[in-house]
């Protein structure tokens, strides 16, 4: 055993995971990256001191960030993923037979290469899917420069520091909106509201200035310490957030999805936010 890995995301609270075999530990040129074995969670990846994904609970986060917007949209053909280096989100997006192309823009090639090498169970071959297009670039620059449009844009970023900081700016959200086809949906990794309320408030203000309907949905990801995780939701079609379980059930069955956390009822329930979040959002 190699001791403990202590996460350094917050100044006043921290989680630690027992470190078994350390499979890789190095600076990629952009980020400090470590991949290690944990007896309970399987293989774990951390970037710049923050747990990014584990074999044990990655399915919760990737199923929710992938399936909720695509099933709510109902006819997503072109999907853009910003970040997502481990490939778990790409895998879930490509489980939808209606998706014709999934473009993944990841800034750090090493995260992809090392995830394929050491965390193959998470991407499960998604990078080899002929519909997958991997672009190594800054996602902020990509959405500013690409002429393409997308039905769904998913921001699977690190937290708002280091290379991920630009992915929480109003300028980035504005450029994402410009890349969305009519009826499109933007969803984001938006932190843990109990411990990152300011991230929730600022994202809601920025998204709310750009989109007719800006809110969040939530899910419990055990290794994202501090309670449930919030996913940003932004679209100009407010009806998309209010799909009924019956509508979603039909689409879920038609897609033939196999999930371990996501269900159509969880989809609908995930948009029901607790009072403290509604207070932060001004009752939205």
**Coil, strand or helix at 75:** coil
CA distance 183 to 176: 13
- Site stretch for ligand SAM (CB under 6 A), options 10-18, 35-43, 99-107, 257-265: 99-107
For residue 251, give the DSSP letter.
Answer: H
Residues assigned a catalytic role: 156
Q: Which of 133, 139, 214 is nearest to 175 (CA)?
A: 139
157 is in an annotated binding site: yes
Taking CB under 6 A as the rule, does residue 264 contact ligand SAM?
A: no
- Hey, which residues between 194 and 253 contact ligand SAM (CB under 6 A)? none
Quote the least distance from Cβ 129 to ligand SAM, whole Å. 18
Number of Cβ within 10 Å of residue 19's Cβ equals: 18
Work out whether strand 42-47 and strand 32-38 pair parallel, antiparallel, or are unpaired.
antiparallel
Quote the least distance from Cβ 193 to ligand SAM, whole Å. 14
Taking CB under 6 A as the rule, does residue 138 contact ligand SAM?
A: yes
Side by side, which strands form the sheet with 132-136? 132-136, 101-106, 78-83, 150-156, 180-189, 229-235, 213-219
Q: Outline where DSSP puts E strands in the chain.
A: 4-6, 16-18, 22-27, 32-38, 42-47, 50-54, 78-83, 101-106, 132-136, 150-156, 180-189, 213-219, 229-235
Q: Cα angle vertex 207, ends 282, 77, to 5°? A: 130
Euclidean distance between the first and final Cα of the chain, in Å?
Answer: 48
Taking CB under 6 A as the rule, does residue 167 contact ligand SAM?
A: yes
Per-residue contact string for residues 168-187; x = within reach of ligand SAM by CB under 6 A? --------------------
159 is in an annotated binding site: yes
Shortest-Cβ-distance residue relative to ligand SAM: 85
Question: Smaller CB distance to ligand SAM: residue 105 or 134?
Answer: 105
Per-residue contact string for residues 33-72; x = within reach of ligand SAM by CB under 6 A? --------------x----xx-------x-----------
**Pseudo-torsion of CA 265, 266, 269, 273, nearest 10°?**
180
Taking CB under 6 A as the rule, does residue 83 contact ligand SAM?
A: yes
Question: Smaller CB distance to ligand SAM: residue 98 or 202?
Answer: 202
Among 48, 57, 106, 151, which residue sits at the site for ligand SAM (rule: CB under 6 A)?
A: 106
- Site stretch for ligand SAM (CB under 6 A), options 13-21, 78-86, 96-104, 250-258: 78-86
Annotated binding site for spermidine: 62, 86, 156-159
Binding residues, by number, are 31, 62, 86, 106, 138-139, 156-159, 163
* Positions that interact with ligand SAM (CB under 6 A): 47, 52-53, 61, 82-86, 105-108, 111, 138-140, 156-158, 163-164, 166-167, 189
């Amino acid at each position: 055993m190699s001791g403990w890995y202590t996460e350094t995301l917050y100044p006043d609270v921290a989680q630690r995971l027992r470190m078994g075999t350390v499979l890789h530990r190095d600076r990629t040129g952009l980020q400090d990256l470590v991949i290690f074995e944990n007896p309970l969670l399987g293989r774990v990846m951390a970037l710049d001191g923050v747990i990014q994904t584990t074999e044990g609970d990655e399915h919760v986060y990737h199923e929710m960030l992938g399936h909720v917007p695509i099933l709510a949209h109902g006819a997503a053909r072109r999907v853009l993923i910003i970040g997502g280096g481990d490939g778990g989100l790409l895998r879930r997006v490509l489980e939808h037979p209606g998706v014709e192309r999934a473009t993944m823009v990841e800034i750090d090639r090493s995260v992809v290469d090392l995830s394929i090498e050491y965390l193959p169970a998470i991407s499960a071959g998604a990078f080899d899917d002929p519909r997958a297009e991997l672009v190594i670039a800054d996602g902020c620059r990509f959405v500013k420069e690409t002429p393409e449009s997308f039905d769904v844009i998913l921001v699977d970023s690190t937290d708002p520091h280091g290379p991920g900081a630009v992915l929480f700016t109003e300028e980035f959200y504005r450029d994402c909106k410009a890349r969305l086809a009519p009826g499109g949906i933007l969803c984001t990794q938006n932190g843990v509201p109990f411990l990152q309320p300011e991230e929730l408030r600022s994202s809601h203000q920025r998204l709310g200035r750009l989109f007719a309907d800006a809110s969040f949905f939530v899910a419990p990801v055990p290794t994202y310490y501090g309670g449930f995780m919030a996913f940003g939701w932004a679209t100009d079609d407010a009806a998309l957030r209010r799909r009924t379980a019956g509508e979603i059930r039909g689409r879920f069955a038609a897609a033939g999805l196999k999930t371990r956390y996501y269900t159509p009822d969880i989809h609908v329930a995930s948009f029901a936010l607790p009072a403290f979040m509604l207070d932060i959002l001004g009752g939205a």
